[in-house]
């Protein structure tokens, strides 16, 4: 095999040539192609933030309305049966304490006028087997 020396071999040309003064005039030509006015840049993230803020506001509003209705719909008044049962089973208040708290107006409101005929009372007592209980109490 023959010895090969790269320095002595002819060089292969690339086929591309650069015009004279190309790189010296390049920056000037490039600057001429840019527009003189700068256009206003609208960021895409700004629009996304607006949508995110709007969505968050709708979610907060949507969740706060049922919570508001829940707390305002609970009535602080109880029916009479519930109060009576609670006082009967969970209270250490005696009858005397309750009587001392009543006013004249409260007593007048509680008074009930029963219009019961004597015949009705006799019929009830005669048909009831627990007559002794009524007589003892």
**Is 23 domain-assigned?**
no
**Is 125 domain-assigned?**
no
**Is 110 domain-assigned?**
no
- Over the chain, what is the mean pLDDT? 81
**Is 6 domain-assigned?**
no
H helices of the chain, where? 22-33, 44-73, 80-90, 95-101, 104-110, 118-127, 131-136
| Distance between CA atoms of residues 42 and 54, nearest Å | 19
Domain count, the chain: 1
**Is 68 domain-assigned?**
yes
**Is 69 domain-assigned?**
yes
The boundaries of the domain holding residue 80 are 49-90
**Is 65 domain-assigned?**
yes
Q: Tens of pLDDT along 30-84?
A: 888 877 777 777 777 767 788 889 999 999 999 999 888 888 876 667 778 888 8
For the chain, percent of residues with pLDDT exceeding 70: 93
**Is 70 domain-assigned?**
yes
């Amino acid at each position: 095999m023959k010895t090969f020396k790269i320095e002595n071999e002819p060089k292969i040309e690339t086929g591309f040539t650069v015009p004279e003064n190309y790189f010296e005039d390049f920056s000037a030509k490039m600057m001429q192609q840019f527009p003189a006015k700068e256009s206003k840049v609208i960021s895409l993230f700004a629009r996304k933030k607006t949508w995110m803020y709007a969505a968050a506001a709708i979610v907060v509003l949507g969740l706060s309305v049922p919570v508001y209705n829940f707390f305002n719909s609970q009535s602080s008044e109880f029916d009479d049966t519930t109060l009576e049962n609670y006082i009967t089973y969970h209270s250490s208040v005696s009858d005397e304490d309750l009587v001392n708290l009543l006013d004249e107006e409260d007593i007048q409101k509680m008074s009930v006028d029963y219009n019961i005929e004597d015949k009705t009372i006799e019929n009830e007592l005669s048909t009831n087997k627990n007559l002794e209980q009524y007589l003892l109490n």
